[in-house]
Amino acid sequence: MRATSHESLLAWLDTLIERSTLVAPQRVEREWLYRPVSSAAAIAFDFQRTTVSPKGYFFPETEVLLDIERRGREVVMGEPDLAGDQLLFAIRPCDARALLVLDALLVDRPPADSYYARRRERTTLVGLACPQMWDGCFCTSLGSGPADASAVDLMLYHDGDGYLVETVTDKGAALVAGVDWPEVDRPAPEPEITAEVVSVRPPDEWLAAFDEVVWQRLADRCLSCHACTYVCPTCRCFDVRDDLTAAGPGYVHVQRLRAWDSCMSPAYRRIAGGHNPRPDTAQRLRNRFFCKFCYSPRDFCAVACVGCGRCIAACPAGVDIVEVLRGV
């Protein structure tokens, strides 16, 4: 491990801004959110967990898939250029592990989502280990922990007023090559593990819980908004629609957009013609939990939840994922 002071870290980050977009936690009114910063001084280091996950820097809230121009019988299609590298600074272990879940779905299973894949390739992840767990956190129940460095390129640990720096991948090593931070002997401090481990049932055992009344009872208070899915680092459902940007005689210019959508929306599965296999809140709520803890692991990867606890904080109606896990 190497050690650095806070000042030295900021100076180093300021040099990186020249060649990459630096995305870091910022205080925005009453929230902490990941935003591009123009100087390291704007970074908020005292955050716990951002309100919305940083997945938007890989899977944006709004993404232009295609630029389409039709003139008479001629159609020209273009894809937006994704210029530049991205440095995501102070990503928490849970959010970094969430990217592994998104990788499994969006890249590893062919055909790869080229938009997500490109952003992923162009981004370096510098993690900031959590010194403790906060209200709502349950990463330790999902095989991870507040100091889990498995999904980042470089990991920082709080060390007094400074930081210890751990190189995890070659990408991370390249980032700090030549930086004047001394090697030190001491190990990274152990984070305070305060949350009780919740026993998460294996995917196959969820099948038996499908018809249980617990879903009806939970759905009573669920408002079918999109808050949980949007703040979640692993949710990735999207909508696609053409947006007319200009039109004239024989001419049409359109952007084919994709944007975040939510399986909790009542119209999520409603087809033109009216048929909807999930008209009830209980069905949609159940589907969401099953998707995370049963379908995703059975279909393509590990459990699609990293225990970040944002959904608990964001839910306006008090639906609590840990309560669900305990009750199933």
Q: Which is nearer to other proteins, 10 or 301 (CB)?
A: 301
Instruction: Name, in order, each residue with C-beta under 8 angstroms of 10's C-beta and a sequence gap of 6 or more.
Output: 40, 41, 43
Q: Radius of gyration over alpha carbons of the chain, in Å?
A: 22
Q: Does 250 interact with other proteins (rule: CB under 8 A)?
A: no
- Near other proteins in 192-211, by CB under 8 A: 207, 210
- Near other proteins in 32-91, by CB under 8 A: 33, 51-52, 61-62, 65-66, 68, 70, 73-75, 77, 79
Q: Does 241 interact with other proteins (rule: CB under 8 A)?
A: yes
Token pair 């709004």 is found at: 62
Question: Least distance from C-beta 243 to other proteins, angstroms?
Answer: 5
User: Of 55, 97, 120, 236, which lies in the binding site for other proteins, with binding defined by CB under 8 A?
Assistant: 236
Q: Does 225 interact with other proteins (rule: CB under 8 A)?
A: yes
Question: Least distance from C-beta 296 to other proteins, angstroms?
Answer: 8
Query: Are residues 236 and 105 in contact, defined by beta-carbon separation less than 8 angstroms?
Result: yes
Query: Phi and psi for 78 in degrees, rounded to 5?
Result: -135, 155
Q: Does 11 interact with other proteins (rule: CB under 8 A)?
A: no
Q: Does 110 interact with other proteins (rule: CB under 8 A)?
A: yes
Cα 219 to the chain's mean position, in Å? Answer: 25
Q: Does 320 interact with other proteins (rule: CB under 8 A)?
A: yes
Query: Are residues 168 and 153 in contact, defined by beta-carbon separation less than 8 angstroms?
Result: yes
The span of 83-91, 147-155, 169-177, 223-231 binding other proteins (CB under 8 A) equals 223-231
Give 279's strand partners. none
Per-residue burial over 81-105, b if 16 or more Cβ lie within 10 Å, else e, is eeeeebbbbbbbbbbbbbbebbbbb
Angle at 84 between CA 78 and CA 89, to 5 degrees: 130
Token pair 């001629």 is found at: 74
Both tokens assigned to 219: 């759905």
Q: Does 186 interact with other proteins (rule: CB under 8 A)?
A: no
Question: Least distance from C-beta 39 to other proteins, angstroms?
Answer: 19
- Near other proteins in 253-312, by CB under 8 A: 254, 256-263, 265, 267-273, 275, 277-278, 280, 283, 287, 290-291, 294-296, 298-299, 312
